[in-house]
Structure 1
Amino acid sequence: MPLGLEDSVGAFVPGDRVELVGATAGPLAELDFAVKDLFDVAGATTGYGNPDWARTHAPAAATAPIVMALLQAGATLRGKTKTVELAYGLTGENVWYGTPINPAAPDRFPGGSSCGSAAAVAAGLVDFALGTDTGGSVRIPASYCGIFGIRPSWGAVNLTAACPLGPSFDTAGWFASRASVLRRVGDVLLPPGGEGALGPLVKVQEAWVNAVPHTATALVGAIAKIERVLGPCLSMHVAPEGLTQLFENFRAAQAEEAWASLGSWVEAIRPTFGPGVGERFAAAKATDPAVAAEARAFRGLFRQRVQALLAGGAVLVYPTSPVPAPRLDVALEAQQAVRERTMGVTAIAGLAGLCEVSLPAARVNGAPVGLSLAAAPGRDRALLAVAERVAAELRLAV
């Protein structure tokens, strides 16, 4: 695809395109990629989805190591993509730069906060794209746009020269239109090790009950095909305290970190935010330290429980999102209800530090819904290999 490609879905940040040609040879040669606009590229201002952030930050002095690794592996950068303001949202809306079109369902949100990266891949503008995932910001856009996406194990991929949100939750993930490309990028970015057999398959009961009936029905048929790869499926309750408790504890712990990371800038600059974002930062500022401490303690216990369950190689399976992407005209209150219902599920991997892949497994009312496979921290390479085999069984793009 030539440099200066047409942006048919509004995935890239407005203005001059940041483009860099990759090495002439390497494992990702001849592949194109895009980068969420919270990773630094030398000479370009990292806008982080907000005009006031862009105005108050100088152009980057150096390129993020993760971007350099992809360039050195032969991939060519086609531009920086839009993000929700300061990465604090799941719909993909950006009132300043425009909300990217969801190529798989143009009347619905693309999902956030890595909205532009997901839209660019779903539209075929690039082969893969970098995003970040704190509370679901790769997994949910992947589900909404009908593509593959991975949230790696926490700490597995270098986040130097990336804007923070919740540092003990933040991960650098990526999207691809093909399972093999998702794996090939992992071969470049992930640390060595973690290969080997996985199984058994564990159906997370809470997440299936949390999904609306149409979503659960559309996805459950895939289980039999996944069993051909991972063996007979078991059903278990992973969060007997309920997904609402997972969401509340995740929200409190993340909010404390979001304010610690960005609160001083918010207080000094008093930026103008789009719908919902300012309210989230106000809530983050108001988070009771005692509540946040309880959330951190809960997180430690939950992590121990889930990692013990997965230590032998078990793989969790559940709907990535309980619903397809909300329609663009949905009320803000309904958006918040979807956000809370969704983050109860995304918090499973977030709290436990798991690696998770979302596969474009089905459609509901014409819109995509993803199916997630999650494994123990450090088993990223094995999970990507399994995802590729599962994609073949499901007759998805391999």
Structure 2
Amino acid sequence: MAGSSFDFDSFGRGSEADRDPLGAFVPGPRVHLEPTAVGPLAGLTFAIKDIFDTAGQVTGCGNPDWANSHEPAEANAPAVERLLANGATAVGKTVTDELAYSLNGQNAHYGTPTNSNAPGRIPGGSSSGSAAAVAGGLADVALGSDTGGSVRIPASYCGISGIRTTHGRIALEGIMPLAPSFDTIGWFARDAQTLARVGAVLLEPDAAPATFRRLLVAEDAFALAQPETAGALSPVLERLTQRFAQSETVAVGDVVTIERGDGLAGWMLCFRALQAFEIWRVHGPWIEQTAPRFGPEIAERFDWVRTVEKDQASAAASDRARFAERLQAMMTPGTLLVLPTAPDIAPLTSSDAASLRDHRDRVLSLTCIAGLAGLPQVSLPLAQIRGCPLGLSLIAPKGADRALLTFAAKFAPSPSIGEAAAWPEVAS
């Protein structure tokens, strides 16, 4: 449905299954779940990435052969149940990249959800439908997952707020795994205030209250971004810096020289090797037994992951431990790390495979930072280039998720749909 036009005047008429002008929801009868109690999220609607279980429904995970080879779920995933128990209403399950293994949001079976804030450009993945639904006003909030950037990147591309939580902070029961040592729950909202409201429900209180007084600017992350990106984020960064008693620049990737290369590009390769090994351990048996039909990009990806050997993964795990130790030592209590969410605005849907691969490598060089260290990261829609949104990210110390959301809600403006022009603009 990407690139198609639709009539907003007729939106809302017809059957429930027809009310999807953005192609954000899984085709077929729409899942609708009423709240089970009145609570702080009363009046909010939410969408559910189709890797989360909902009782009585097959969790399709973006692939028809997966859907055909799995039974309906017996219960709602706890994250879904928690939102319902706090007053929110579920309005549907959303399209995901196949088995959640892509950052593009282009599903060969179900299409590309429309990025309403950057028409003609990809929504980002793998939580593509969730981001598209929130950006287009079809849901107030949407659940997603983030392994390598699958909430943070769609949030940046679609001009909404999104969070990847501390690894292990929220249980992943009832959710399809991808790479367990990286998998996290996340969610989207159009503003940081709503993002924080959901966090108050899904997250237990932080172990220790935090006041952020020290800001680290990841200079090597900004260097990876396109010059336009750095320029668009510069005034926001200046405004952010003024809020801190102490700020300094750091090179996040300069931990040690590793076999894969120096800096963030080397750490991206470390992330990819370890992620791939875990993915094949989780999904390899099903793939070999079922021989599923994958789209070309995903098929190529799974052909590669089966070649990653145990000794490669062991070396990557050892390197990862050193990176995480150093970054967590850098992120002392009261510290935030700021970086671009993505190196650029969303690529065009017409981009060729080679350019998307190159873009993905640069994206992963940024998203691997929080992933390797298991830290929480929020992306905020604070700039735009040529009318397309661009996110700025804040990473907090491990376990400081609620403090991070509170800070984001106070710092970020709260534009409604159509008010993106209030963001700093960089012309072409």
- Following superposition of structure 1 onto structure 2, how do residues 191-340 of structure 1 map, counting pairs within 5 Å? 191-193=204-206, 194-240=208-254, 241-340=262-361
The residue aligned with 2:120 is: 107
- The reply on whether 1:349 has 2:370 as its aligned counterpart is yes
The residue aligned with 2:193 is: 180
Residue aligned with 2:46, SS:
strand
Query: What is the CA–CA distance in structure 1 between the aligned matches of 2:236 and 2:243, rounded to whole Å?
Result: 12
Does the CA contact (< 8 Å) of 1:319 and 1:372 recur in 2? yes
Query: What is the CA–CA distance in structure 1 between the aligned matches of 2:413 and 2:56, rounded to whole Å?
Result: 41
Query: What is the CA–CA distance in structure 1 between the aligned matches of 2:21 and 2:150, rounded to whole Å?
Result: 22
Does the CA contact (< 8 Å) of 2:24 and 2:129 recur in 1? yes
Query: What is the CA–CA distance in structure 2 between the aligned matches of 1:104 and 1:52, rounded to whole Å?
Result: 32
- The reply on whether 1:25 has 2:38 as its aligned counterpart is yes
Residue aligned with 1:172, SS:
strand
Q: In terms of mean alpha carbon deviation, does 208-217 or 196-205 score higher?
A: 196-205
Give the C-alpha shift of residue 275 in structure 1: 2.2
- TM-score normalised by the chain length of structure 2: 0.90
Instruction: Could you tell me which runs of 5 or more consecutive residues in structure 2 were left unpaired when the two chains were aligned.
Output: 1-10, 255-261, 423-428
Give the C-alpha shift of residue 192 in structure 1: 1.8
Query: What is the CA–CA distance in structure 2 between the aligned matches of 1:293 and 1:84, rounded to whole Å?
Result: 28
Query: What is the CA–CA distance in structure 2 between the aligned matches of 1:164 and 1:294, rounded to whole Å?
Result: 23
Query: What is the CA–CA distance in structure 2 between the aligned matches of 1:71 and 1:337, rounded to whole Å?
Result: 40
Instruction: State which of 155, 159, 179 in structure 1 corresponds to 2:172.
Output: 159
The residue aligned with 2:6 is: none
- TM-score normalised by the chain length of structure 1: 0.97
Q: In structure 2, what residue type is equivalent to 1:48?
A: C
CA 1:285–1:37 in 2, change beyond 3 Å: closer, same or farther? same
Following superposition, which runs of at least 4 residues in structure 1 exceed 4 angstroms of deviation? 393-397
Query: What is the CA–CA distance in structure 2 between the aligned matches of 1:7 and 1:230, rounded to whole Å?
Result: 43
The residue aligned with 2:102 is: 89
CA 1:372–1:391 in 2, change beyond 3 Å: closer, same or farther? same
Does the CA contact (< 8 Å) of 2:191 and 2:414 recur in 1? no
Note the alpha carbon deviations across 1:325-368, whole angstroms, 9 max, x for none: 11011110100000011101100000000100000011112211
- The reply on whether 1:145 has 2:158 as its aligned counterpart is yes
Does the CA contact (< 8 Å) of 1:229 and 1:390 recur in 2? no
Q: In structure 1, what residue type is equivalent to 2:40?
A: P
The residue aligned with 2:3 is: none
Q: In structure 2, what residue type is equivalent to 1:66?
A: A
CA 1:305–1:82 in 2, change beyond 3 Å: closer, same or farther? same
Query: What is the CA–CA distance in structure 2 between the aligned matches of 1:232 and 1:358, rounded to whole Å?
Result: 22
Using the aligned pairs only, state the percent identity: 49
Q: In terms of mean alpha carbon deviation, does 31-40 or 387-396 score higher?
A: 387-396
Give the C-alpha shift of residue 24 in structure 1: 4.4
Query: What is the CA–CA distance in structure 2 between the aligned matches of 1:186 and 1:393, rounded to whole Å?
Result: 17
Query: What is the CA–CA distance in structure 2 between the aligned matches of 1:332 and 1:58, rounded to whole Å?
Result: 34
Residue aligned with 1:173, SS:
strand
Give the C-alpha shift of residue 228 in structure 1: 3.7
Note the alpha carbon deviations across 1:295-321, whole angstroms, 9 max, x for none: 100110000001011123211101000
Query: What is the CA–CA distance in structure 2 between the aligned matches of 1:236 and 1:247, rounded to whole Å?
Result: 18
Give the C-alpha shift of residue 369 in structure 1: 1.0
Give the C-alpha shift of residue 198 in structure 1: 1.4
Note the alpha carbon deviations across 1:57-86, whole angstroms, 9 max, x for none: 011111101100000000000000000000
Instruction: State which of 379, 386, 390 in structure 2 corresponds to 1:358.
Output: 379
Q: In structure 2, what residue type is equivalent to 1:90?
A: L
Does the CA contact (< 8 Å) of 2:55 and 2:75 recur in 1? yes
Residue aligned with 2:412, SS:
helix
Does the CA contact (< 8 Å) of 2:193 and 2:414 recur in 1? no
Query: What is the CA–CA distance in structure 2 between the aligned matches of 1:372 and 1:13, rounded to whole Å?
Result: 29
Q: In terms of mean alpha carbon deviation, does 388-397 or 18-27 score higher?
A: 388-397
Give the C-alpha shift of residue 232 in structure 1: 4.3
The residue aligned with 2:259 is: none
Query: What is the CA–CA distance in structure 2 between the aligned matches of 1:42 and 1:332, rounded to whole Å?
Result: 37
Q: In structure 1, what residue type is equivalent to 2:243?
A: V
- The reply on whether 1:98 has 2:111 as its aligned counterpart is yes
Give the C-alpha shift of residue 238 in structure 1: 1.3
Query: What is the CA–CA distance in structure 2 between the aligned matches of 1:370 and 1:392, rounded to whole Å?
Result: 13
Q: In structure 1, what residue type is equivalent to 2:354?
A: E
Note the alpha carbon deviations across 1:120-165, whole angstroms, 9 max, x for none: 0000111100000000000000000000000000011121010010
Residue aligned with 1:243, SS:
helix
- The reply on whether 1:126 has 2:147 as its aligned counterpart is no
- The reply on whether 1:71 has 2:84 as its aligned counterpart is yes
Does the CA contact (< 8 Å) of 1:31 and 1:75 recur in 2? yes
